[in-house]
Amino acid sequence: MAPSIPTNAKAAGPDASRSTSASRLLTLVHHNRQLSRASLTRLTGLNRSTISVLISHLTAQQLVVESAPVGGSQVGRPSPQVSPHPGLVALAVNPEIDAVTIGLVGLGGRVIKKIRYSTGRIPTAAEAVNIAAAVIDGMRGELEANYRVVGAGIAVPGLVTSADGTVRYAPHLGWDSEPLADMFAGLTGYPAFVANDASLAAEAEMVFGAGTGIKNLVYLNGGASGIGGGIISEGRLLAGASGYAGELGHTFVRSDGLPCHCGSRGCLETEVRQAPLVELLKLATDDPSAIGPALCASTDPAVAAEVARQIGFLAIALRNVVNIFNPGAIVLDGFLAALHAAAPDALESAVRAQSMREPASQVLISPASLGTDLMMVGAAELAFAGFLADPVGYFGEQPAIS
Amino acid sequence: MAPSIPTNAKAAGPDASRSTSASRLLTLVHHNRQLSRASLTRLTGLNRSTISVLISHLTAQQLVVESAPVGGSQVGRPSPQVSPHPGLVALAVNPEIDAVTIGLVGLGGRVIKKIRYSTGRIPTAAEAVNIAAAVIDGMRGELEANYRVVGAGIAVPGLVTSADGTVRYAPHLGWDSEPLADMFAGLTGYPAFVANDASLAAEAEMVFGAGTGIKNLVYLNGGASGIGGGIISEGRLLAGASGYAGELGHTFVRSDGLPCHCGSRGCLETEVRQAPLVELLKLATDDPSAIGPALCASTDPAVAAEVARQIGFLAIALRNVVNIFNPGAIVLDGFLAALHAAAPDALESAVRAQSMREPASQVLISPASLGTDLMMVGAAELAFAGFLADPVGYFGEQPAIS
DNA sequence: TTGTTATGTTGTTTTGAGCAGCAAATAGCA
DNA sequence: TGCTATTTGCTGCTCAAAACAACATAACAA
């Protein structure tokens, strides 16, 4: 017992601070995809020599690669460019109500491969994991030959206990207390991490998408099965006491509203829904990306009325968001982005009219920008998180691939 | 230019990490008021010898004092107790609509002195600062003889830009763009920091009050002038893009509700108010602490109806809070605590019935526990924050008092 | 009294990271 | 084509935070 405490202390001590520098450096490279040594020096505030030492370590461990300096524009000695090692990847898994999508994402948010497996019906947790494992087994040869996999991130539409990777409750999938991370890790051998899909999307949008550089951001996604949200404050995702934070779909927007499946009444997601829009527009597909153009093209007054009605309720929810969080940006995705596109001024002026003046003047309302890659990038980000926190120790002392 | 970058880097480098340890140590002592060296070793994870060196530094700088080990309960060599130095204090200032309260608070959240100066009417910013400066001038002899003052924290009921210490907009005081920190610092010579009162109260409750140890906490205070809130996530106060976050008083709770002074309708603070309760109870005072007992004692059905009505709307706001934040605790203060005391089961069951099951099962709804010292402790905490972040460098190389 | 356990203390060692000086690579200018 | 200014990378040196190890000390328990 006595010797174990110093050992623990050591692990939390100089190791932690060493890895903090490597971690900061790698995170910067990850977020910017390509950076010169010189800009790393400026961004980290570390000394040139320190950067040099760190990068030589990271290069030796095949975590980054250096390429020839991009010549031209500046006086002085050109600085080599540092990029994430192209072989460093994470797996991304996203079960939905009619499909399971599996992706391979490189450090830097580069989606290398994306495979959508249609299930035709709602998959059980076991089915979703089996499908993902099968697809990954199919790629295994390629993975083991050309890549180093840091792990897998699974984005689930539901309440998730991230600490143990358990899906507590996913109403639209009908899942309840599924130890998804353990199931996946058991089948594939890769460490797995699970989180709420909207939370991951929020992070992806902050890092690579519409909210790049904005540290206080609220993301809202409208899909066929409801409205999910993710909140980012000071660059960190709001998790709450047990990781269930961000359920903006159940914000109160209407007295004596319709009952919601959550047991309450007047929730945002019972008033603002995709189905009536699809119906009025007579669209054949549920694909949210089709709704935007159709809405803009429509001249049907019934459609306009429904849009106005939904925008009214959405504005109430966003007003709460603005007053409570004072976000720098609100990013709308799915059919909420379509609603915004159909009448951007109507939505924005309604939100501003209801919110307090100061926070309202700061907020930018914009559609999501990562499109269909969003979930893959977000889920991969989850898998990368643990790696980025301690890049030097992550793979042990393995000499790596190739 | 060339030498200045390394200098900056140095300031952010080893100095920062050195002070990080001292900072962590002092923060722990501050939050726990009294800790043994042994427990500091365990809590920080640092080595015994490191703790020894750090504490001898802090003792030399008169930031902490060591006292004889408290004997008895445990096998082994007893460990000396470390406490904050009793001479280390912060000033706390809290302007309200009818008074300005000035306090002297020691490290560890100990309120040494509290002076409430009644103004009889709403003070202007200049008046509030003048009153505070006059009171502090009165204490100056004592302050300079016996204390070291880290600075002053000012808790203001309104929107505050903490970065420059400016009150952007305080509707109940009628203040608008007042550079309060500069005014105060100019008059008294002490560095001053300004923040929203409810936010500071939330922090005080987390550190020393009802939410001790709970890292995800929502604080709601009901006063004569409205409802303010503060949100703490992972132990950090939610600030938002410009520090205006936390305005939970303007959560939407009622369709076609009454117009609010914020320009919107159906806000929590237009439906849930102290005035009707005071009126129905025929109380002579506005003091929120009188409302609780009076409510519990009342048998008037009109009072009961009003309580039920307000609890209904409060439950809607809290339901949003639970769904969005998944807090570990909701702390109610002012007349909201009185409402809760009048019918705790009614409020809690209403919140739980409307919220999603998982986050609802985790949340504890409790009244605030710091009472009238709350604002003093919160404001002092603000002043201590800068000091705790870099305790060794804060006072320069001064040999300190006594 | 003696052994056990928990602590404090001192000197040594490891290691992250800044610093200085020199070399290298470019743009601009004559 | 050279010359200078500027920016950057590399190597060796140095500093300081903090772990480690060994020893001293103080309580409780048998």
The answer to whether position B348 is within a domain reads yes
- The sign one gets for the Cα dihedral B281, B283, B288, B293 is negative
| Number of domains comprising chain A | 3
Question: Are residues B142 and B10 part of one domain?
Answer: no
Assess contact for A156 and A187: CB atoms under 8 A: no
Provide mean pLDDT across the span A306-333. Answer: 96
In this structure, chain B runs to a length of 402
Chain B residues 77 to 96 whose Cβ lies within 7 Å of strand C are: 77-80
Is residue B381 domain-shared with residue B365, that is, in the same domain?
no
CB contact under 8 Å between B13 and A45, yes or no, is yes
Please indicate, yes or no, whether residues A165 and A250 belong to a single structural domain of this protein: no
Enumerate the β-bridge partners of residue A290. none
Q: Report the 10 Å Cβ neighbour count for A402.
A: 9
Structural domain boundaries, residue B256: 210-369
In a domain, B304, yes or no: yes
Shared domain check, A196 and A217? no
β-pair partners for B111: B105
Categorise residue B86: left if φ over 0, alpha if ψ from -120 to 50, beta otherwise.
Answer: alpha
Q: What is the pLDDT along chain B (402 residues), one digit of tens a residue?
A: 222 222 223 333 333 444 578 888 899 999 998 888 888 888 888 888 888 888 888 888 889 998 887 766 677 778 888 999 999 999 999 999 889 999 999 998 999 999 999 998 999 999 999 999 999 999 999 999 999 999 999 999 999 998 899 999 898 899 999 999 999 999 999 999 999 999 999 999 999 988 788 999 999 999 888 899 999 999 999 999 988 999 999 999 999 999 998 889 999 999 999 999 999 999 887 788 889 999 999 999 999 999 999 999 999 999 999 999 999 999 999 999 999 999 999 999 999 999 998 899 989 999 998 888 999 999 999 999 989 988 877 776 444 444
Question: Which domain CATH number covers B164?
Answer: 3.30.420.40
What's the pLDDT at A73?
66
In a domain, A152, yes or no: yes
More confident call, B364 vs A80: B364
Q: Does strand C come within 7 Å of the CB of A69?
A: yes
The two tokens of residue B298 are 């009342």
**What's the pLDDT score for residue B10?**
31
CB burial readout B351-377, b (16+ within 10 A) else e: bbebbbebbbebbebbbbebeebbbbb
The answer to the question of residue A269 being in a domain is yes
* Residue B325 near residue B229, CB atoms below 8 Å: no
pLDDT of residue A46: 84
Structural domain contains residue B76: no
Residues B218 and B357 in one domain: yes
- Residue A23 CA to residue A38 CA, distance in Å, equals 17
Of B239, B241, B319, the CB nearest to A252: B319
3-state DSSP of chain B? CCCHHHHHHHHHCHHHHHHHHHHHHHHHHHHHCCEEHHHHHHHHCCCHHHHHHHHHHHHHCCCEEEECCCCCCCCCCCCCEEEECCCEEEEEEEECCCEEEEEEEECCCEEEEEEEEECCCCCCHHHHHHHHHHHHHHHHHHHHHHCEEEEEEEEECCEEECCCCEEEEECCCCEEEECHHHHHHHHHCCCEEEEEHHHHHHHHHHHHCCCCCCCCEEEEEEECCEEEEEEEECCEECCCCCCCCCCHHHCECCCCCCECCCCCECEHHHHCCHHHHHHHHCCCCCCHHHHHHHHHHCCCHHHHHHHHHHHHHHHHHHHHHHHHHCCCEEEEEEHHHHHHHHCHHHHHHHHHHHCCHHHHHHCEEEECCCHHHHHHHHHHHHHHHHHHHCHHHHCCCCCCCC
How far are the Cα atoms of A293, A363, B246 from residue A357, in angstroms, in the given order?
32, 11, 14
Q: Residue A12 phi/psi, 5° resolution?
A: -90, -10
Nearest-angstrom CA–CA distance, B383 and B30? 13
Q: Which of B17, B244, B357 sits opposite A358 (nearest CB)?
A: B244
- Burial class from Cβ neighbours inside 10 Å (0-12, 13-18, 19+) for residue A7 reads exposed
**Residue A216: predicted pLDDT:** 95
Q: Looking at the structure, do residues A38 and A165 belong to the same domain, yes or no?
A: no
Give the distance from residue B59's alpha carbon to the nearest chain A alpha carbon, in angstroms.
23
Same domain for B383 and B358: no
The mean per-residue pLDDT over the stretch A247-267 comes to 93
Residues B137 and B248 in one domain: no
Q: Which residues of A touch B160 (CB under 8 A)?
A: none
Report yes or no on B75 lying in a domain.
Answer: no
Report which of B311, B320, B297 is spatially closest to residue B346, judged by C-alpha positions. B311
Q: Are residues B120 and B34 in the same domain?
A: no
- Contacts of A266-269 with C-beta under 8 Å, sequence gap 24+, read A268/A227, A268/A313, A268/A314, A268/A316, A268/A317, A269/A226, A269/A227
Query: A2 pLDDT exceeds 50?
Result: no
Q: Which residue, B24, B44, B70, sits at the end of a domain?
A: B70
Which residue is listed with tokens 């709770």?
B253
Same domain, A42 and A168: no
Ramachandran sector of residue A216 (left: φ over 0; alpha: ψ -120 to 50; beta: rest): beta
The protein residue nearest C24 (Cα–C1') is: A77
Q: For strand D, which nucleotides have at least one atom less than 7 Å from a protein CB?
A: 5-12, 15-22, 24-29
The tokens for B252 are 């939407």
Residue B233 and residue A239: Cβ atoms within 8 Å?
yes
Tell me what pLDDT residue B74 has.
Answer: 73
Query: Cβ contact (<8 Å) for A247 and B324?
Result: yes
List, for residues A28-52, the tens digit of each pLDDT value. Answer: 899 998 888 888 888 888 888 888 8
We report the CATH number of the domain holding residue B33 as 1.10.10
pLDDT in tens, A142-157: 999 999 999 999 999 9
- Name the pLDDT band for A19 (thresholds 50, 70, 90): low
Domain match, A360 and A383 both: no
Helix axes B335-342, B288-297, angle to 10 degrees: 20
Answer yes or no: is A59 within a domain. Answer: yes
Any strand C atom closer than 7 Å to A13 CB: no
Q: Please indicate, yes or no, whether residues A196 and A222 belong to a single structural domain of this protein.
A: no
Is A324 close to B324, i.e. CB distance below 8 A? yes
Reference A401, options A145, A55, A149; nearest CA is: A145
In a domain, B81, yes or no: no
Q: How confident is the model at residue A227 (pLDDT cuts 50, 70, 90)?
A: very high
Residue A17: its pLDDT value, please?
44
Domain boundary residue, one of B36, B70, B104: B70
**Alpha-carbon distance B81 to nearest alpha carbon in chain A (angstroms):** 21
B203-224: b (≥16 Cβ within 10 Å) or e = bbbbbbbbbeebbbbbbbbbbb
**Which H helix or E strand runs over A231?**
strand A226-233
